Structure 1
Amino acid sequence: MGKILRKAVFGLDPEQAHRAAIRSLALWGSAGAPFGGGPEAATPVTLAGLTFPNRIGLAAGLDKDAEAIAGLFALGFGAVEVGTLTPRPQPGNPRPRLFRLVEDEAVINRMGFNNGGIDAALARIARLKRRPGVLGINVGANKDSTDRVADYALGVTRAAPHADYITINVSSPNTPGLRDLQSRPALDELLAAADAARGTTPLFLKVAPDLDRAGLEGAIRAAIDHHIDALIVSNTTISRPPLAAAQAGEAGGLSGKPLQALARAKLIEAREIAGGQLPLISAGGIDSPDEAKRRIDAGAVLVQVYSALVYHGPALVRSIARALA
């Protein structure tokens, strides 16, 4: 049955399949998730004053508009991160913009922060009857913004009453110039504004795996200076390791198995630089319980997955949670 379902899903355009998955999860959640419970029971983990039911979270990007939170928690996630959300709605980049690299167990996307705007998403979050795990809200800037720092501050202000934590996303490669905000002094200005806007809500910072050591060190020092509670290492990569799929030349951020070695190496580098002063969350290429264990051994407190669900299915969530218990 799993092979038949996968064949049917892979017969759809990737973005159509993504929308179908979100609709199915939303319906499942609204029905009370009759065939699944909440987060997989495991040893709880405390980070930034929050209690995570287990160590596995959903990375931002799957549920951009906070439509399927209940259904996603029912898959077993201890944390679900929605977004990226921008102050105003925006359509994102022209299609096609999402590509499966089946031979490589990878995905390339150049979505461009397509979302219905933060206010619409927060209205859906406010209607949630139950939140069995930790909810993160990932915020970004509009593509045509004339003041991106103000966009982030507004996103943090709006999200703070609704989020267990907020992630500052300055590492997407699909909004022109956005990654420049990872460099000081731009990052200092942005994080100072976000810190002032958050109230008591924990703030996480998500960085790209393409930062060199000096860039990563600058981002970590800025995060520590501005009281960021955790660093997510990492987002998609613009680098291209050897790939077999015909879509390998598509522009955008690469995720999935080919990102595995780079994401793990950047986690180790971040651990060395941070020296225990900043908790680390690992994302990128985590596709098995063994790889998740490697990330914890390399210094991560929590892990996040997304692209691996495309190739390994939702059962991966509980298998990782159990392995890390």
Structure 2
Amino acid sequence: MFRTVLARMDPETAHHAAMVVIRMLGFAPLAAIARSVTRPDPALRTEALGLTFDSPFGVAAGFDKNVSGAQGLWALGFGHVEVGTVTAIAQNGNPRPRLFRLVPDRAVINRMGFNNAGAQAAAKRLQKLRRRHRRAVLGVNIGKSRVIDVADATADYVRSAKLLAPLADYLVVNVSSPNTPGLRGLQAVETLRPLLEAVRDAAGATPALVKIAPDLPDDEIEAIARLAVELGLSGLLATNTTISRDGLRTAPPVIAAAGDGGLSGAPLAARALEVLRIVRAAVPADFVVISVGGVETAADVRARLDAGATLVQGYTAFLYRGPLWARQINRGLAQGR
């Protein structure tokens, strides 16, 4: 019933309503009760990045932008939670409406624009979370502040990294969202190299990873993967949302009305799997690759793991599958072993 009510609401309003419930689940004793129902089978434990993940399946960045629901998401059974995207300077993001459901495609278009309360606010919340004895493995995804010129992006990322890396289990450099002007241009290897070097150094002992777009040509994907290895990064996330609208079943007027933004969900699955295979072929076997994009079922997650993913993340299908989605995935993975 709750999911039906949310489905009738504006998508962003529905997300905020769901986050209220998820935040509540993060408090004792509700967290312990929920986790007792959703706890992944011990056979799913995964070692990566020097960390132990209760399950290889986690929440992608974008769901919890302000580190407000991470403990509740852990209580729902996710093996890790990647918060953000966080920017050094707080920002409101793009004007609403900026989130649109494509129900026939089980997809979403968003042009949120990194709306978040900023790195200082995120750091305060992460400090509180780190004091918990049982909590999610927490990744922090950082992006460029909109008011900062692309030419000054490195210093902006470093500012966030210095604040957040000491409080994160791993740090992700997001250069692949289509919703911040000029951001994807940072994926060019000659531009990306100094940025990643600077963030890696600022992150210190915290594992640093980079997240790429699915719309890059295959040779550029290979080049970024090799660069990440060369620079001693700990891993790579593939992929972010796509600007493509190919092959959608949703009526063209609905798609046109949604306008610009990143497409996520089921239509991204095939390309995300292709990019995963390209990256895995270009990096050493022990290099961490996190696959994101279009997963909905345990079979989808298993296919990514079989194709070489170390970990798998999801987001959009949560909106269609509901709060027990992670439990469904984890149970399916355990039964398939």
| TM-score normalised by structure 1 residue count | 0.95
| Equivalent residue in structure 1 for 2:140, among 119, 137, 141 | 137
Residue 324 of structure 1 aligns to a residue in which SS?
helix
Instruction: Kindly indicate whether residue 295 of structure 2 is the aligned counterpart of residue 298 of structure 1.
Output: no
Residue 255 of structure 1 aligns to a residue in which SS?
strand
Distance 2:29 2:123 in 1: 20
Distance 2:24 2:247 in 1: 39
Q: How does 1:205-220 map to 2 (within 5 A)?
A: 205-220=210-225
> Could you tell me how far 1:189 is from its partner in structure 2?
0.6
Counterpart code for 2:293: G
Counterpart code for 2:106: E
Residue 281 of structure 1 aligns to a residue in which SS?
strand
Q: In structure 2, what is the equivalent of residue 313 of structure 1?
A: 322
Q: How does 1:151-190 map to 2 (within 5 A)?
A: 151-190=156-195
Range with greater deviation from structure 2 (27-36 or 87-96): 27-36
Are 1:55 and 1:324, in contact at CA under 8 Å, matched by a contact in 2?
Answer: no
> Could you tell me how far 1:5 is from its partner in structure 2?
2.5
Are 1:168 and 1:205, in contact at CA under 8 Å, matched by a contact in 2?
Answer: yes
Distance 1:182 1:303 in 2: 22
Q: How does 1:26-175 map to 2 (within 5 A)?
A: 26-33=23-30, 35-37=33-35, 39-43=39-43, 44-128=45-129, 129-130=131-132, 131-146=134-149, 147-175=152-180
Unaligned runs of 5+ in 2: none
Are 1:171 and 1:208, in contact at CA under 8 Å, matched by a contact in 2?
Answer: yes
Distance 1:239 1:42 in 2: 39
Q: How does 1:266-305 map to 2 (within 5 A)?
A: 266-276=275-285, 278-305=287-314
Counterpart code for 2:41: A
Distance 1:316 1:15 in 2: 19
| Equivalent residue in structure 2 for 1:248, among 235, 244, 255 | 255
Residue 156 of structure 1 aligns to a residue in which SS?
helix
Counterpart code for 1:141: K
Distance 2:328 2:234 in 1: 27
Q: Determine what percentage of the aligned residue pairs are the same residue.
A: 46
| Equivalent residue in structure 2 for 1:25, among 22, 25, 35 | 22
Range with greater deviation from structure 2 (266-275 or 118-127): 266-275
Instruction: Kindly indicate whether residue 336 of structure 2 is the aligned counterpart of residue 322 of structure 1.
Output: no
Deviation track 1:244-265 (CA, whole Å, cap 9, x = no partner) reads: 3243232100000111111111
Counterpart code for 2:305: I
Distance 2:95 2:197 in 1: 33
Deviation track 1:248-307 (CA, whole Å, cap 9, x = no partner) reads: 232100000111111111111111222426321111000000111100111101100100
Instruction: Kindly indicate whether residue 205 of structure 2 is the aligned counterpart of residue 204 of structure 1.
Output: no
Q: In structure 2, what is the equivalent of residue 16 of structure 1?
A: 13
Residue 64 of structure 1 aligns to a residue in which SS?
coil
> Could you tell me how far 1:132 is from its partner in structure 2?
2.5
Distance 1:278 1:187 in 2: 19
Are 1:42 and 1:321, in contact at CA under 8 Å, matched by a contact in 2?
Answer: no
Q: How does 1:221-260 map to 2 (within 5 A)?
A: 221-246=226-251, 247-249=254-256, 250-260=259-269
Are 2:266 and 2:294, in contact at CA under 8 Å, matched by a contact in 1?
Answer: yes
Distance 2:29 2:108 in 1: 31
Counterpart code for 2:109: I
Deviation track 1:12-50 (CA, whole Å, cap 9, x = no partner) reads: 100100111111111221243254017523332111211
Give the CA RMSD over aligned residues. 1.4
> Could you tell me how far 1:314 is from its partner in structure 2?
2.3
Are 2:238 and 2:276, in contact at CA under 8 Å, matched by a contact in 1?
Answer: yes
Range with greater deviation from structure 2 (236-245 or 99-108): 236-245
> Could you tell me how far 1:54 is from its partner in structure 2?
1.1
Residue 37 of structure 1 aligns to a residue in which SS?
helix
Q: How many residues align?
A: 322
Are 2:25 and 2:34, in contact at CA under 8 Å, matched by a contact in 1?
Answer: no
Distance 1:27 1:119 in 2: 23
> Could you tell me how far 1:319 is from its partner in structure 2?
2.1
Residue 100 of structure 2 aligns to a residue in which SS?
strand
Counterpart code for 1:206: K
